[in-house]
């Protein structure tokens, strides 16, 4: 088969199917984004799968995912949630929720934490109820709904309070895990280490999994090549070439979220300008601010 018989060989089937769509539709598909199953993300997801099926024992294993801001931790958590959705059996009127995800409150407030769990379970409750009352309701609901794993994002908020409040919050986590025999997966930026290391029991229960900053290496090049293959622009850009890979890495400063945002802007610009290709000049000159310069820019 010749290139003329099957054009746009730089794209996968899904992107090739979109290549004849309007510019607006192609741009919308780029803005929607896509899941990137890179190796480290797959490793963490596999570990979470193992924890989800762990037999209920006295001391359940837990996980602490640590990553710089905007480096993919929440995307991994959301991916896991999508793989384990709530199951509503309308005939039996039973809702099964194997995995529950909440965001830690902005301060280590136990009552607010319980409220977020109850809200996530869509359970009627009194917001002004005592923490112990909320805790009792949560334990009943976890048992009824088959909750096996609780995911807590932004756990570094734990250190945004007094030492007493931090201690109370950690004790609430330990108690909830002990009494329900669920796995707890916490995630946060580097400060999450400090949130747990002050309590030897917490640090010993939560195995850390780190998402480091990206380097301009073969793994980063593979990631860019995957994005290019999935993106409906008409010409090949060869983003894994050393020059383009380094330029994208420099501008995004090694964080996954910023790299993806920069890539989207580059691809959209390539469509809007009609060039249908991401060039080295475009990478270096696109009006896009890297994260380190955004606060500086806002002062002027």
Which pLDDT band holds residue 95 (cuts at 50, 70, 90)? confident
> Do the bridges between strand 94-96 and strand 99-103 make them parallel or antiparallel, or are there none, so unpaired?
unpaired
pTM (2 d.p.): 0.89
In this structure, the answer to whether residues 190 and 227 fall within a common structural domain is no
Per the structure, the complete domain to which residue 265 belongs is given by 13-32+214-291
In this structure, the answer to whether residues 171 and 253 fall within a common structural domain is no
* In the block, residue with structure tokens 């090694």: 254
pLDDT for position 223:
96
CATH number for 74: 3.40.50.300
Instruction: State the average pLDDT over residues 226-249.
Output: 97
In this structure, the answer to whether residues 94 and 203 fall within a common structural domain is yes
Give me the number of domains the chain comprises: 2
In this structure, the answer to whether residues 162 and 43 fall within a common structural domain is yes
Q: What angle do CA 66, 67, 72 make, to 5 degrees?
A: 120
Last residue of a domain, one of 210, 245, 266: 210
Which pLDDT band holds residue 2 (cuts at 50, 70, 90)? very low
| 17-31, 73-87, 126-140, 280-294: least confident range | 280-294
Q: Is the pLDDT of residue 5 over 60?
A: no
Bridge partner residues of 65 (DSSP): 187, 209
**pLDDT tens digit sequence for 147-190:** 999 999 999 999 888 999 999 999 999 999 999 999 999 999 98
Residue 1 lies in a domain: no
pLDDT for position 90:
60
Which pLDDT band holds residue 295 (cuts at 50, 70, 90)? low
Residue 65 lies in a domain: yes
Query: What is the rounded average pLDDT for all residues in the chain?
Result: 92
pLDDT for position 91:
66
d(CA 193, CA 213): 17
- Which residue in 38, 25, 6 sits closest to 224, CA to CA? 38
pLDDT for position 207:
92
In this structure, the answer to whether residues 203 and 254 fall within a common structural domain is no
**pLDDT tens digit sequence for 250-271:** 999 999 999 999 999 999 999 9
Positive/negative CA dihedral, 173, 176, 178, 180: negative
pLDDT for position 192:
85
Last residue of a domain, one of 156, 189, 210: 210
In this structure, the answer to whether residues 127 and 92 fall within a common structural domain is yes
Instruction: State the average pLDDT over residues 200-224.
Output: 93
Dihedral angle at the C-alpha atoms of 16, 20, 24, 27, nearest 10 degrees?
A: 20
pLDDT for position 3:
42
Positive/negative CA dihedral, 14, 264, 257, 152: negative
Residue 300 lies in a domain: no
Residue 230 lies in a domain: yes
Residue 3 lies in a domain: no
**pLDDT tens digit sequence for 31-63:** 999 899 999 999 999 999 999 999 999 999 999
Q: Is the pLDDT of residue 299 over 60?
A: no
pLDDT for position 92:
59
Residue 297 lies in a domain: no
Instruction: State the average pLDDT over residues 60-73.
Output: 94
91, burial (CB in 10 Å: exposed 0-12, middle 13-18, buried 19+): exposed
* In the block, residue with structure tokens 């805790």: 135
In this structure, the answer to whether residues 140 and 264 fall within a common structural domain is no
In this structure, the answer to whether residues 156 and 269 fall within a common structural domain is no
Phi, psi of 81 (to 5 degrees): -60, -40
DSSP string, 24-49: HHHHHHHHH------HHHHHHHHHHH
d(CA 76, CA 82): 10
Q: Is the pLDDT of residue 132 over 80?
A: yes
Which pLDDT band holds residue 204 (cuts at 50, 70, 90)? confident
Residue 2 lies in a domain: no
Instruction: State the average pLDDT over residues 106-131.
Output: 94
pLDDT for position 64:
96
């Amino acid at each position: 088969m010749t290139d003329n018989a099957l054009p746009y060989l730089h794209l996968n089937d899904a992107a090739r199917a979109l290549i004849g769509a309007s510019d607006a539709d192609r741009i919308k598909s780029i803005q929607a984004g896509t899941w990137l199953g890179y190796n480290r993300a797959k490793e963490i997801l596999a570990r979470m799968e193992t924890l989800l099926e762990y037999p209920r024992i006295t001391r359940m294993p837990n996980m602490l995912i640590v990553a710089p801001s905007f480096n993919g931790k929440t995307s991994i958590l959301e991916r896991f949630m999508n793989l384990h959705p709530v199951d509503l059996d309308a005939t039996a009127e039973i809702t099964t929720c194997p995995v529950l995800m909440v965001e830690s409150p902005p301060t280590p407030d136990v009552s607010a934490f319980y409220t977020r769990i109850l809200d996530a379970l869509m359970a009627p409750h009194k917001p002004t109820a005592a923490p112990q009352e909320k805790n009792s309701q949560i334990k009943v609901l976890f048992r009824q709904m088959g909750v096996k794993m609780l995911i807590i994002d932004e756990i570094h908020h734990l250190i945004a309070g007094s030492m007493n409040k931090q201690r109370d919050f950690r004790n609430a986590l330990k108690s909830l895990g002990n009494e329900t025999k669920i796995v707890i997966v916490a995630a946060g930026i580097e400060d999450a280490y400090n949130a747990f290391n002050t309590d030897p029991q917490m640090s010993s229960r939560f195995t850390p999994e780190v998402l480091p900053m990206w380097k301009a290496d073969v793994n980063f090049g593979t990631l860019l090549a995957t994005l290019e293959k999935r993106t409906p622009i008409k010409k090949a850009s060869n983003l894994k070439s050393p020059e383009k890979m380094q330029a994208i890495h420099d501008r995004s400063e090694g964080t996954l979220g910023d790299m993806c945002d920069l890539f989207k802007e580059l691809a959209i610009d390539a469509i809007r300008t009609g060039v249908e290709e991401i060039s080295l000049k475009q990478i270096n000159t696109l009006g896009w601010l890297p994260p380190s310069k955004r606060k500086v820019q806002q002062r002027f």
